[in-house]
Structure 1
Amino acid sequence: MPLPDPATFSANMMKVATQSQTLVSEFLASQREKGVGSADPLNIGGAFMELFTKMMSEPSKIVEAQLDLWQRYMDLWTSQAQRFLGQESDPLVQPERGDRRFRDPQWDENQVFDYIKQSYLLTARWMQDTVKDVDGLDDRTAKKVDFYTRQFVDAMAPSNFLMTNPQVLRATLESNGENLVRGLDNMLKDLDRNSGRLHIRMTDMDAFKVGENVAVTPGKVIYQNDLMQLLQYTPTTQEVYKRPLFIVPPWINKFYIMDLRPENSFISWMLDRGYTVFVVSWRNPDETLTEKTFEDYLKEGIFDGLDAVEKATGEREVTTIGYCIGGTLMACALAVLAARGDDRIKATTFFAAQVDFSEAGELSVFIDDEQLEHIEQVMAERGYLAGNEMATTFNMLRANDLIWSFVVNNYLLGKDPFPFDLLYWNADATNMPAKMHSYYLRNMYQKNLLVQPGALHLCGVDLDLRKIKVPIYLQSSKEDHIAPFTSVYKASQLYSGPVRFVLAGSGHIAGVINPPSARKYQHWTSDIAKNPPTPEEWLATATEHPGSWWEDWDAWLSTHSGPKVPARVPGDGKLKVIEDAPGSYVKSKGATANWTEAEEVVSETDANSGD
């Protein structure tokens, strides 16, 4: 590594010291103004206290674990000594496939950094194995301990520190410390002066503008209420299927994940296949919508939307899509319609949508009484949960990709975030109304009432998913950590009508938004007459296909969409045009960060390093 210029390096270190003092002073000032809240709102201390109590009750296991760690280090020291003497020595421990923290060649070529890497991986895995091996913990506590142990070992990775990251150390010497000066500038920009929170930028937020270079598919807003605008898109074919397609995206983030750019726009792709496409664009809630409930989202989002589609096209019969929490809401709507004997929805597609939350994945770590009470207390102060507070939870699910990679890139390497449309969408946050969000967390995630017939009462009826008989296309993604495919699959055992389950490669976003032209990932289908009880049994019967599942879905949906009719133009029906798509609701800005499976795309393009 090159030696820095002493004078320039010293001057830059002086700037770093000054900026660090400013950073700490601003942070402490904001904390004094805000006041100190609960020391442990997530009840992490209680979980680890229970862990330590169980461990102390079996001291022999502690001794065994310590001896195991000692033996692992003895093996590592022996291996490193052999390498130091010029002998061949295979590494004892390797990073997992896809772990980009140790991709710099120096982690393998330089013996010092190789030892740092291997000793970290050895200790991290030993620590996680040890806490998993403790007997007597209830399932919820065990998951919480495992989750926060991983957070600790991820935070302590040598790649996150100047002196133990060869790439950062090299950049510091080559630039005479300019990278650290720029990095602290970036950190100061990201520090919220009001809350004291650090909002790490994942992309250049000035590089994109909704309606100009993202969300640009032509269409019109033809209906709106307090909670949503309804977009009808301009047809691209002379004929369309008779039954319109009504899409309900999640309100945790904005609808244009399905319309980022023309080449990967799901909406454009559907238009080209002859569907009349309607999409709900949810309003970004503020304090004026604090009283909105889950039932309001059902009434004003789905039922008002269905009525508007009928007025716009003259067609009562439709097909629908529900994505993520929008799919959970769609399942509730189908249950209400089934109870009423209303059969206007002729087929429904679910994208990564859970209705049985008994195995909801790592998000269940955050759903206990202590944490829910804390969330409800935070929401009570202003009537909603800010999008940036949602971000912390979801980003922690993949901390190395969605937190620490940007810490290294932005603050240690001093690089600006790379312009990336998906990460721009990811940062375009939305808020959650207090009453609605509390209902969802309590009744779905915590109590799992949606799958219990009659346990939930909405729109004047008791919900029973078993009464849903419409044909269902149930899509999930194999690497989804938001809605695990094993959890999504449970819905195939609930509905009474035919269910086609399809499993996509990748995760919560890339598994869904995967146009056939990209020729990426794969998907699995099965033509068995009845879905078996477990996803493992289904997968044993499935056939793997290369590429996107979209064409399989199109073949299925086209059979439920009726004959072809002349294309419909927005505004030609009983509802007149309000404004151009994507509308004004989607342009409302919330907080500064949101969640997604963004690390998949980051890993493919190395966007976080600017390469």
Structure 2
Amino acid sequence: MDRLENIEPHMPTLVEMQQWTQVIGRAQQLMLEQAAGATGGHLPFDPATVSRIQSSFANEGLALWQRFLDAGGMLRDAPAPAPEDSPAARKDRRFADPAWTSHPFYDLIRQSYLLTSDYLLRMADAVDGLDPKQKAKLRFATGGFVDAMAPSNFALTNPTVVEKTLQSGGENLVKGLQHMLADLEKGQLSHTDGTAFEVGRNIAATPGKVVKETPLYQLIHYEPTTDKVLETPLLIFPPWINRFYILDLSPEKSFVQWAVDQGLSVFLVSWKSADASMKDLGWDDYILRGQVDAIDTVRDLLGVRNVHTIGYCVAGTTLAATLALLAARGQAEKVASATFFTAQVDFSKAGDLCLFVDDEQLKLVEQLSTGGYLDGRYMAATFNLLRGRDLIWNYVVNNYLLGQDYPPFDLLYWNGDTTNLPARWHRDYLTQLYRDNLLVQPGALSIDGTPIDLRKIETPAYVQAGREDHIAPLESVWKMMEHLSGPTRFLLAGSGHIAGVINPPAAGKYQYWSCAEPQPTLDDFIAAATETKGSWWPDWIEWIRGHGEKNVAVRGGRKPGRGKLKAVEDAPGSYVRTR
């Protein structure tokens, strides 16, 4: 930072300090007025709470200015550190550059921002008399605002960007502009180098054949790698809002390849990305003509009584509905077990995604669903907003301001490979499940005329949750345990919605928590759980093997394309490539 340190500051006058204080106060007032308008025009605050917050803000603000004055404007005299319990002292990756603390002016900007953002968030929390969802919406909007206004997001107030600009003669900003224009053209924020990956070559590359194709899905049968396999096959339902290869990334990360190597006959559904021909598809289609049809297809192909199933995220939600349908029709024996990866059935504690299902948001979704389907880029933007600091502003700084090259990262490539959704199905999912929480109300939903009740599900279930999951929160996933009637095993994995699931044993990362015996509540589970280092996949395969089934030789229909169903094309198929 030698060149940066040669920039001579001047000590602010009293008038300038007063101006800064007024600017911060005006920003606070504007934010609160905007929030009030969004929640009906009136924000009732508890006077004592507001007084306490304002007093704390004033005291910390005065202390901040005093530390700045004590520095005397000398660049090499770092200001005294803030108290450990102060928001200004909290660790934050946005301010990792040493200049944020060693340079008095950047330190002033940093601490002023942290102090103001903390004040705004505390004021949002202090609002009384609002519906809990409205209060959560206010908190979410305030958090998004303060993340967007971080000084690290702007070239002139980010010391790393200033230094990079001086060193490169501004080339970083030119390159960043190229990145931004390219993203604007494709209508999506880039997270990784898209040229580094090719579906079927270095991702989604597990050998297999597409053995069935319908207007809704392709069924992939993977090539066995063992001489014998478990008699009961495994059928995987990936999320229909994403490409399936989150479960088949690079070979060393692929759950599909690992499951094949464990001696399982593995089948997987690759959902078709929606187009205008799918505008009328709904709940019945994805369950009856999707999941049930695939279950029957695999059973008939291999001549087996039942299948093991996996449902990831939203496909886990529909898998639960599928099990309830089979139970209602006396066909529960078609499924030997059901594994749920970060899936929800009770949406009463579904987290911040519930903020996107009010009438205003649903009208916006309808407006965006031109041609009878929702462009997947809008869904991707929604998920990015849930972690805006990490998935939006981090990349704005690195890609647009610093002009850095995109790193090759298969997970981020998948994250940007969006899938379109049928408009009707997407609307019904948001309203009937997220908004109205009908799935857990016995008989409130029907499939092909059959009312369903989750309490009728007696299929053995393995329920996995992620400790840091922001899409399917731990508390929400746990609630599935309250609605199933069969034997269940709950497992809590370290990390979140993706890394908590995609954690191969060879990586030696994270950990998981489990209990030898079922627990009545989540608190009881957490209190009794034992921590195990590494991947939870070995725990799952032992649970599968614990069903006491036999091994069979790999011949006939156990080999992709050799049985009743001939190969349509090589895996990963054409649907995963359809845009």
- The TM-score with structure 2 as length reference comes to 0.90
Query: What does residue 91 of structure 1 align with?
Result: 82
Matches within 5 A, 1:342-357: 342=331, 343-357=333-347
Query: What does residue 54 of structure 2 align with?
Result: 66
**How many pairs are equivalent?**
542
Query: What does residue 181 of structure 1 align with?
Result: 174
Report the Cα offset of residue 527 of structure 1. 1.4
> Is residue 402 of structure 2 the alignment partner of residue 413 of structure 1?
yes
Q: Deviations 1:323-369 (Å, cap 9, x if unpaired)?
A: 00000010000000001111110111000000000000010111112
Q: Distance in 1 between matches of 2:353 and 2:239?
A: 16
Q: Aligned pair in 2 of structure 1 residues 449, 64: CA closer, same or farther (>3 Å)?
A: same
Query: What does residue 599 of structure 1 align with?
Result: none
Indicate the SS of the match to 1:475. Answer: strand
Q: Distance in 2 between matches of 1:79 and 1:345?
A: 67
Q: Is the 8 A contact 1:242 1:562 kept in 2?
A: yes
> Is residue 556 of structure 2 the alignment partner of residue 566 of structure 1?
no
Q: Is the 8 A contact 1:311 1:573 kept in 2?
A: no
Q: Is the 8 A contact 1:51 1:145 kept in 2?
A: no
Residue 490 of structure 1 is aligned with which of 479, 494, 497? Answer: 479
Q: Distance in 1 between matches of 2:561 and 2:3?
A: 68
Report the Cα offset of residue 559 of structure 1. 1.6
Report the Cα offset of residue 80 of structure 1. 3.6
Report the Cα offset of residue 299 of structure 1. 1.7
1:393 corresponds to which letter in structure 2? T
Q: Is the 8 A contact 1:310 1:316 kept in 2?
A: yes
Report the Cα offset of residue 105 of structure 1. 1.9
Report the Cα offset of residue 212 of structure 1. 1.0
Indicate the SS of the match to 1:509. Answer: coil
> Is residue 384 of structure 2 the alignment partner of residue 395 of structure 1?
yes
Residue 273 of structure 2 is aligned with which of 254, 268, 284? Answer: 284
Report the Cα offset of residue 477 of structure 1. 0.4
Q: Is the 8 A contact 2:78 2:104 kept in 1?
A: no
Q: Distance in 1 between matches of 2:411 and 2:91?
A: 20
> Is residue 318 of structure 2 the alignment partner of residue 329 of structure 1?
yes
Q: Aligned pair in 2 of structure 1 residues 98, 499: CA closer, same or farther (>3 Å)?
A: farther
Indicate the SS of the match to 2:193. Answer: coil
Report the Cα offset of residue 79 of structure 1. 3.4
Q: Deviations 1:22-78 (Å, cap 9, x if unpaired)?
A: xxxxxxxxxxxxxxxxxxxxxx967644376124x7667655543332111112223
Q: Deviations 1:564-601 (Å, cap 9, x if unpaired)?
A: 00122112221111100000000112xxxxxxxxxxxx
2:519 corresponds to which letter in structure 1? N
Q: Distance in 1 between matches of 2:36 and 2:232?
A: 52
Query: What does residue 30 of structure 2 align with?
Result: none
Report the Cα offset of residue 406 of structure 1. 0.9
Report the Cα offset of residue 220 of structure 1. 0.4
**Worse-superposed segment, 175-184 or 141-150:** 175-184
CA-based RMSD: 2.1
1:181 corresponds to which letter in structure 2? V
> Is residue 69 of structure 2 the alignment partner of residue 78 of structure 1?
no
Query: What does residue 541 of structure 2 align with?
Result: 554
Matches within 5 A, 1:190-229: 190-192=183-185, 198-229=187-218
Q: Distance in 1 between matches of 2:548 and 2:466?
A: 25
Q: Aligned pair in 2 of structure 1 residues 87, 252: CA closer, same or farther (>3 Å)?
A: closer
Q: Deviations 1:491-516 (Å, cap 9, x if unpaired)?
A: 11111111100000000000000011
Q: Aligned pair in 2 of structure 1 residues 394, 348: CA closer, same or farther (>3 Å)?
A: same
- The TM-score with structure 1 as length reference comes to 0.85
Q: Deviations 1:453-508 (Å, cap 9, x if unpaired)?
A: 00001123111000000111000000000000110001111111111000000000
Q: Distance in 2 between matches of 1:210 and 1:263?
A: 15
Q: Is the 8 A contact 2:36 2:42 kept in 1?
A: no
Matches within 5 A, 1:146-545: 146-192=139-185, 198-342=187-331, 343-379=333-369, 381-528=370-517, 530-532=518-520, 534-545=521-532
Indicate the SS of the match to 1:206. Answer: helix
Q: Is the 8 A contact 1:327 1:353 kept in 2?
A: yes
Q: Deviations 1:68-97 (Å, cap 9, x if unpaired)?
A: 321111122233444559698332346797
Segments of structure 1 that go 5 or more residues without pairing to the other structure are 5-43, 590-611
Segments of structure 2 that go 5 or more residues without pairing to the other structure are 5-32
Q: Aligned pair in 2 of structure 1 residues 126, 241: CA closer, same or farther (>3 Å)?
A: same
Q: Aligned pair in 2 of structure 1 residues 100, 46: CA closer, same or farther (>3 Å)?
A: closer
